[in-house]
Amino acid sequence: MTLLRTYIKTMTTALFAGLGAALRVVGLRSPRVMILMYHSVEDSSWKYGVSPQEFARQMDHLARGGFMVVPLERIVDHARGRATLPDKSIAITFDDGYADLVPVVLPIITRHAFPITVFLTTNMNTHETLGDLPRVTWGDVKTLSVSGLVQIEAHGHDHRNVKTIRNDEQKLTDEIIRCKREIEQHTGSVVRYFAYPAGHRDQKVAAFLAQNGFDGACGITEGLIASGDNPFALKRIQIDRTMSFSLFTMRIAGGIDLYRRSVDFLRTRP
């Protein structure tokens, strides 16, 4: 069943990637602007990670394939209509903050001079809900932040479902603002972006973020980023261990957007 599901997913993505390419040729598709979402880069069996070898191969593909890897803030500016990005613009993000960021991820992105954003959960004890993997230390965070390639942003202090505490301002403060302040204290940089833990969000949480100095926030809904998109509901493309290299290349070719829109359309049908 797993092999069949993988085959269907690959073929469907290939179909939509081809359709997107055809529409783009005749000028009917907008530029491909996207945010990739990673978690860990290691050799465990955790679904949401990728192997170091696969991550290096994916970054090599971006470098050779004419993609422009940009800081997250440029994607937010594009969504807000403050700037326009060209086709094949990509921001790379990592959620949670795992110990592989310094020894594995940093050398690979340094080789390509790729900027990345790490959405950090500041309670750095190992969490079962976070893959049960070793976490970064504040020393690691310092190493990342002074590299010139890594911006550290907020992902909550305890990785809580913020929707469940949206009516309690003190609990939101303990989860979101504490995270923001701890990162700023250790990095000396202003935290401007948030990633909703497990993608849980609503308008009330987004309003809280906007009122407390945040300029945008990322979810886990998949798709491309267009000018005029809600900056507090930014879509991302998840990259994980279930994905073959061929599927990776097709998803970032733009097929993911048409695929997502088709799935959403079918779900709304009676």
Give the model's pLDDT for residue 5: 53
The answer to whether the CB of 97 falls within 8 A of the CB of 120 is yes
Distance CA 131, CA 33 (A): 29
Gap between the Cα atoms of 100 and 39, Å rounded? 10
pLDDT > 80? residue 21: no
Give the model's pLDDT for residue 262: 58
* Interatomic CA distance for residues 79 and 91, integer angstroms: 13
Q: Is the pLDDT of residue 143 over 50?
A: yes
Place of tokens 């937010």: 76
Question: What's the confidence (pLDDT) of residue 130?
Answer: 80
Tens of pLDDT, residues 30-71 = 789 999 999 999 999 999 999 999 999 999 999 999 999 999
Give me the chain's average pLDDT, please.
88
Quote the pLDDT of residue 129: 72
pLDDT band at residue 9 using 50, 70 and 90 as cut-offs: low
DSSP per-residue codes, 143-171: HHHTTSSEEEEE--SS---GGGGTT-HHH
> Rounded to two decimals, what is the model's pTM?
0.87
Which class for 34: exposed (0-12), middle (13-18), buried (19 or more C-beta within 10 A)? buried
Assign a CATH topology to domain 31-239.
Answer: TIM Barrel (3.20.20)
Average pLDDT over residues 207-225: 95
Angle between helices 105-112 and 52-64 (to 10 degrees): 10
